[in-house]
Structure 1
Amino acid sequence: MSTMEVRPATIEDVPRIAPWTRDTFDWGDYVADRIPVWLEEPESHTLVCAEGDEVIGLVNVVMLSPTEAWLEGARVHPEHRRRGIGSLMNQTGLDWAKEQGARVARLATEEGNAPARRQVESMGYRMVSTWAYAELNPLQRKPIAGASRLQPAPSADIDAAWMSWLSGDLSRAGREMTAIGWRWRTATPDDLREAVREQRFWQSPAGWVILGHTERTVAASGWLATTPYAAPDLLEDMAATGRETGLETIALRVPWTPWMVEALTRAGAEPEPVCIYAIGL
């Protein structure tokens, strides 16, 4: 009988993983396409669980800061579940992260994915924050009178934007984190400085937002500073800018607060809750 082995992934593992991850969700899965990207990231450590020539488990661990790790893409072959493979791979990933200096590891799961939530809670994770994922479709919305166009925010705005965010509801609800794609870590003023350098830091009378292209017609944001009163205007300003620049989609990841969810809904989005879990190392 073959022995299970957790080892670093290689590009040759992709065709062994793709068949059994193709239908993970209703819409499919992303991991087979992401593995080559993860393998090229110096901060990532992609692990597989192999039994003989068969690959039956997967997880990627990435260091997002010197003390923060992120786990993603955790999968177990459907025919090999309930054998402790998920827990084994999680612990192996956490051990590696701790060796790199991580003091905390986080991961995300959909609020409605009860089996996944039970599993991560059984491994010692606790939910620390709920975020909303929502998409604005600027080209499908009628212009709103009075909407302003986002303007590049200067470096002189960094302190004001940071203090506005740090003292606001979004910072508290989001546990002072920022979303970088589908990865979350603690935000710092350096995120704003980098956004200024890369021309991704924007402002309007309603607040500030880090917003950058992920594709030619798609932009994403995981950090914004606004207030309950101004949030609808900031979203409209983002939509107005999107229409002028030909954006089809603005993907937003923002902490789940009642007023932010209401503003997103009024803007035509359908917010979906995402749970962020953490474990101390």
Structure 2
Amino acid sequence: MTEPRIRRARADDHEDVVAFTRETWSDRDVEDYIPDAFEEWVETDGPEQRTVVVEVDGSVVGVCQGVVLSEHEAWLQGMRVDPDHRGSGIALSMMDDLLSWAREQGASVARDMVFSWNGGGLGLSRAAGFGPATEGRWAQPAPDPSASPGLERRDDPDAAWSHWQRSDARDHLSGLGVDTDEPWSLSEVTRERLHEDCQRVISLRDETGTRATTARIRQRERNTDDGVETWAVYGHSAWDSPDAARALFDAVAADAADLGVDHTRVLIPETCRHVSVAAAADGRISDEPFFVLEADLTGSP
């Protein structure tokens, strides 16, 4: 067996990558997105995106991608290793390569996301030098054209920013929200993002001030056995009370209905207060949380 070799991914690696990722989570009835995403990853690689593979004996046995999300934030994703080669250090070598690359691009922090049931992924992230950043979950209010929030809606980015800044949701999420460009990644929510990058900012107020906020950042499609599903994604959320949460999810339901999408996904903090309030307000939440971990890139390589 030859020594593992890390290199940039190529289009002709697709067949090898599909072979060891098509059943990544077959025991959980969860489809891996890598077989569908890999070709696009290779096509779009550039100064702010790097997809690497590990080759052994002429075959690709590992894949991972790094993305620059902002001037100082990087994101690692899609870590996969052929089951026959797990435990041999391949995953760590890819993460080390991408962390070095992220430093070269000027990033001071790198993050990744691991679902709570993925013990192997959590252990790998810690072994690579990542520590805990935050935990989140998805509220999923159903689109409803009859939904009517019990608070006045104003699409005011400045009001939304001020409310987010003083909210406990911001503290619990370490200031992070779903990135506006890269799916399934989190980056810092900024005032500029609310003004320039979100599809719609929703702020709800009463006579005393702003009581709840969120922002729609994208619409996406997903192929299923039954056809194409459409989703509206809301990158962060905050509310002052259970009533404000109920109004916020009603506003999301109405907004999604106006778009004509099938489903919604709203980021909420993974705390007992936030999850229980979301469950009481709407009742539709994801089954399990996810963890975001981060690595400080400002030390000596």
TM-score between both structures, scaled by the size of structure 1: 0.89
User: Does 2:276 correspond to 1:270?
Assistant: no
Maintained 8 Å contact 2:160/2:214? no
* Corresponding position of 1:256: 270
Describe how 1:21-60 pairs up with structure 2 within 5 A.
Answer: 21-25=21-25, 26-39=29-42, 40-42=44-46, 43-60=48-65
What is the Cα deviation at residue 183 of structure 1?
Answer: 0.4
Of 182, 185, 208, which aligns to 2:184?
182
Maintained 8 Å contact 2:237/2:267? no
Of 206, 214, 219, which aligns to 2:220?
214
What is the Cα deviation at residue 133 of structure 1?
Answer: 2.3
Of 113, 120, 132, which aligns to 1:127?
132
Letter in 1 for 2:128: M
* Corresponding position of 1:5: 5
Of 68, 71, 80, which aligns to 1:75?
80
* Corresponding position of 1:168: 167
Maintained 8 Å contact 1:150/1:202? no
Indicate how the Cα distance of structure 1 residues 55 and 170 shifts in structure 2: closer, same or farther if over 3 A, else same: same
* Corresponding position of 2:225: none
Q: Which moved more, 1:89-98 or 1:251-260?
A: 251-260
Q: Secondary structure at the match of 1:55?
A: strand
Indicate how the Cα distance of structure 1 residues 41 and 151 shifts in structure 2: closer, same or farther if over 3 A, else same: farther
Indicate how the Cα distance of structure 1 residues 108 and 22 shifts in structure 2: closer, same or farther if over 3 A, else same: same
- Between the aligned residues of both structures, percent identity stands at 29
Q: Which moved more, 1:222-231 or 1:270-279?
A: 222-231
What is the Cα deviation at residue 168 of structure 1?
Answer: 0.6
Indicate how the Cα distance of structure 1 residues 17 and 221 shifts in structure 2: closer, same or farther if over 3 A, else same: same
What is the Cα deviation at residue 80 of structure 1?
Answer: 0.6
Q: Secondary structure at the match of 2:256?
A: helix
CA distance in structure 2 between the partners assigned to 1:177 and 1:41 by the alignment: 25
CA distance in structure 1 between the partners assigned to 2:131 and 2:199 by the alignment: 36
What is the Cα deviation at residue 121 of structure 1?
Answer: 1.2
User: Does 2:87 correspond to 1:87?
Assistant: no
User: Does 2:255 correspond to 1:241?
Assistant: yes
What is the Cα deviation at residue 81 of structure 1?
Answer: 0.8
Describe how 1:218-233 pairs up with structure 2 within 5 A.
Answer: 218-229=231-242, 230-233=244-247
1:182-232 deviations in whole A, cap 9, x for unaligned?
10111111110114xx64223333533211322484201112342233112
What is the Cα deviation at residue 158 of structure 1?
Answer: 2.4
CA distance in structure 2 between the partners assigned to 1:148 and 1:242 by the alignment: 17
User: Does 2:81 correspond to 1:65?
Assistant: no
What is the Cα deviation at residue 262 of structure 1?
Answer: 1.7
What is the Cα deviation at residue 163 of structure 1?
Answer: 1.4
Indicate how the Cα distance of structure 1 residues 70 and 255 shifts in structure 2: closer, same or farther if over 3 A, else same: same
What is the Cα deviation at residue 245 of structure 1?
Answer: 4.0
Letter in 2 for 1:80: H
CA distance in structure 2 between the partners assigned to 1:175 and 1:199 by the alignment: 23
CA distance in structure 1 between the partners assigned to 2:78 and 2:199 by the alignment: 30
What is the Cα deviation at residue 41 of structure 1?
Answer: 4.7
CA distance in structure 1 between the partners assigned to 2:53 and 2:164 by the alignment: 39
Maintained 8 Å contact 1:105/1:278? yes
Letter in 1 for 2:245: A
* Corresponding position of 2:19: 19
Maintained 8 Å contact 1:135/1:251? yes
Maintained 8 Å contact 2:137/2:285? no
Kindly tell me the number of residue pairs found equivalent between the two proteins: 273
CA distance in structure 2 between the partners assigned to 1:199 and 1:110 by the alignment: 27
What is the Cα deviation at residue 256 of structure 1?
Answer: 1.8
1:109-151 deviations in whole A, cap 9, x for unaligned?
0112222212211222111100112322225xx956x536996
